[in-house]
Structure 1
Amino acid sequence: MCRSIKTLFNFEPPATHEEIQAASLQFVRKLSGFQKPSKANEEAFDRAVLEVAEAAERLLNTLVTQAEPRSREVELERARIRSAQRFGTNR
């Protein structure tokens, strides 16, 4: 899994359209191997990002859980701790 794609389900407040778009762009970049597609591939690339974002939004809107919503602040702190453990830095 691409590390820059973050979990978007079960957060309070829910994931925004911009967060879903960003994750979709990262996913399509990973699949295609393009950071920025050529002019010849731009239309297909942009269409894929749109379609992935639509599918992701439908998914997030239909998933259900009994778990308490996650906190973005808590998840961010956990990520900082993992990063410090992994890379030996204290930010």
Structure 2
Amino acid sequence: MKEGTTIGPSAGEAWALRSRLPEEREFEAREPVMCRNIKPLFNFDPPATDEEVHDAAVQFVRKLSGTTKPSKRNQAAFEHAVISIAACARELLVTLETSHPPRNREEEASKARARMAARFA
């Protein structure tokens, strides 16, 4: 890469751009914040189930659409999006690689409970 070349934000950082006019936007690196309802599914023992992947896809589509229950008119589009995203998510989870050992679900759940207790104490 040539010196002085600027690269825009990654997909994970794109949401962090301020809502200014396009010509005024700065490409800033910020700590990404994930929707609390979507849980990490990669590198667990046992692996994520199809139900967990589907539930994450539903949460993602709900977040994007801004609705928890679509109207009858939009129900087919909503369901199609959930199915498509679940398939892509499953493919991603199958193809990702790591050198770290699989995480234990019980240990991660107890850590989450401890964080919640500290947060709401």
Give the TM-score band, short-chain normalised: over 0.9
Greater relative contact order (CA < 8 Å, ≥ 6 in sequence) = 1
Q: Give, in whole Å, the separation in 2 of the partners of 1:54 and 1:32.
A: 19
Q: Give, in whole Å, the separation in 2 of the partners of 1:18 and 1:77.
A: 22
Q: Which residue number in structure 1 is paired with residue 100 of structure 2?
A: 67
Q: Which residue number in structure 2 is paired with residue 47 of structure 1?
A: 80
Query: Which consecutive aligned stretches of 4+ in structure 1 deviate over 6 angstroms post-superposition?
Result: none
How does the TM-score come out when normalised to structure 2?
Answer: 0.72
**Is 1:20 matched up with 2:53?**
yes
Structure 2 portions without partners, runs of 5+: 1-33
Structure 1 portions without partners, runs of 5+: none
How does the TM-score come out when normalised to structure 1?
Answer: 0.95
Q: Which residue number in structure 2 is paired with residue 81 of structure 1?
A: 114
The root-mean-square deviation of aligned C-alpha atoms, in Å, is 0.5
Corresponding pairs, count: 88
Larger helix percent: 1
